[in-house]
Amino acid sequence: YLSHLESLLVQISPKECLICVHDKQESTAKKLTTILDNNRILVTEVKKSSLNASNLESDLDKLLNKSDNKEITINSMLEQKWLSKEAIAGVLDYLNLLGDDSNYESFQFNEINLRQFVKLDATAVHSLDLFPNAVNDSMTNKTNRTLFQVLNNCRTLSGQRLLAQLIRQPLTDINKIEERLDIIEYFVKNYDIRQDLSEIYLKKVPDLSRIYKKLHSKRATLQDCYRIYLMTKILPNFENCLIRDESDECLAMKQNFSDKLRVICAELSKLSKALEGVIDEERIESNGEFWIKADYDDDLKELRKRLDRFEEEANAVYKAVDREITKEQKEDKSVVKLESS
């Protein structure tokens, strides 16, 4: 079972692992610690009391997305695997997920099937040179010593994370392998489509995972909303680019990308219009400041008038001081420079 555990760790690449060990010198505990160390996973010890699963069913009912409709499956699975109940309870306690209302109904519960991917361990990852392993050898290093570095021509951070995931999870299902190869063949044959996606559209895609986390934790700024707005504007370009050559239609491409993009574009059209009516694009383009349009609200209109008046007064003072100092130093051009932070 420890070999299965290590295979799982390689596949999902977690940053931290919570363990509850009574005797660190016990052989299984030593082996577990060694496996975690070999995979560079932070080990955090938790107390036995944090593994109390007596209220787990009600806790999960609060945290899981109701649209998932997996309550029966989850309850029956947890009843058969009581150790998993304690493990989940420990994670909920450690992360204090129930202490933040924004976490309610925002999680999904999925069971991992180890058989869908080729089994790898830390030794295999190292021996096959899949990823950079030196501390000072970053994932973006261009020395091309590892498989990841050879394949990493990604234009986005999300793409780099997905590439790392695909390398860690080699498929075993022949149908999915063929499907992936069909998509690759489509891009190989259609150079113009591949080039436009890589050189034009993908360069404009922000780190959506990071923005999502900020939105979920209610730390997103107006700048993040503007990035989402720009993304909604370029999504139709992705769809049009992918279906440019209908004579060489790829079923796998259509099912996995084109059709899904069409649905997403339709769903985001209202959001795009809403953001367009709120964000002051002129001010962003003129001086890089992110503002809500003043005509969105009467109070904002009044504040906008006051700010404009203050700016005029500040500019008048600046010009007067500049004229005076320039005159004193007998210079032909302005000598006063304003900085802002």
Does some domain include residue 151?
no
Q: What does the pLDDT read at residue 76?
A: 67
Quick check: 25 pLDDT over 60?
Answer: yes
Q: How confident is the model at residue 177 (pLDDT cuts 50, 70, 90)?
A: very high
For the record, the structure tokens of 114 come out as: 């180890």
Of the two residues 1 and 169, the one the predictor is more confident about is 169
Does some domain include residue 324?
yes
Strand segments (E) across the chain: 16-19, 42-45
Q: What does the pLDDT read at residue 136?
A: 46
Q: What does the pLDDT read at residue 248?
A: 61
Structural domains counted in the chain: 3
Query: What is the per-residue pLDDT across 107-136, written as a single tens digit (0 to 9) for each?
Result: 888 878 888 999 999 999 999 999 987 544
Tell me phi and psi for residue 186, to 5 degrees: -60, -45
Do 262 and 324 belong to one domain?
no
Q: How confident is the model at residue 35 (pLDDT cuts 50, 70, 90)?
A: very high
Q: Of 74, 92, 116, which residue sits at a domain end?
A: 116
Do 110 and 203 belong to one domain?
no
Do 88 and 181 belong to one domain?
no
Does some domain include residue 57?
yes
Rounded percentage of the chain residues whose pLDDT exceeds 90 = 46
For the record, the structure tokens of 73 come out as: 């499956």
State which residues form the domain around 314.
Answer: 304-328
Question: At 226, which CATH number?
Answer: 1.10.1420.10
For the record, the structure tokens of 183 come out as: 């998509």
Query: What is the per-residue pLDDT across 73-104, written as a single tens digit (0 to 9) for each?
Result: 666 667 767 778 889 999 999 999 999 888 88
Q: What does the pLDDT read at residue 22?
A: 72
Q: What does the pLDDT read at residue 103?
A: 87
Does some domain include residue 92?
yes
Q: Decide: helix, strand or coil at residue 169.
A: coil
Rounded percentage of the chain residues whose pLDDT exceeds 70 = 86
Query: What is the per-residue pLDDT across 237-255, written as a single tens digit (0 to 9) for each?
Result: 998 888 776 656 688 888 8
Q: Identify the DSSP state of 329.
A: T
Q: How confident is the model at residue 172 (pLDDT cuts 50, 70, 90)?
A: very high
Quick check: 318 pLDDT over 60?
Answer: yes
Mean pLDDT, rounded, of the chain = 86
pTM, full prediction = 0.80
- Burial label for 282, CB within 10 Å (0-12, 13-18, 19+), is exposed
User: Which residue in this structure is represented by tokens 């080729």?
Assistant: 118
Do 177 and 273 belong to one domain?
yes
Q: What does the pLDDT read at residue 5?
A: 93
Do 269 and 192 belong to one domain?
yes
Question: At 76, which CATH number?
Answer: 3.30.420.110
Do 182 and 255 belong to one domain?
yes
Do 321 and 251 belong to one domain?
no
Do 97 and 28 belong to one domain?
yes
The whole-angstrom separation of Cα 227 and Cα 223 is 6
Do 276 and 317 belong to one domain?
no
Of the two residues 69 and 259, the one the predictor is more confident about is 259
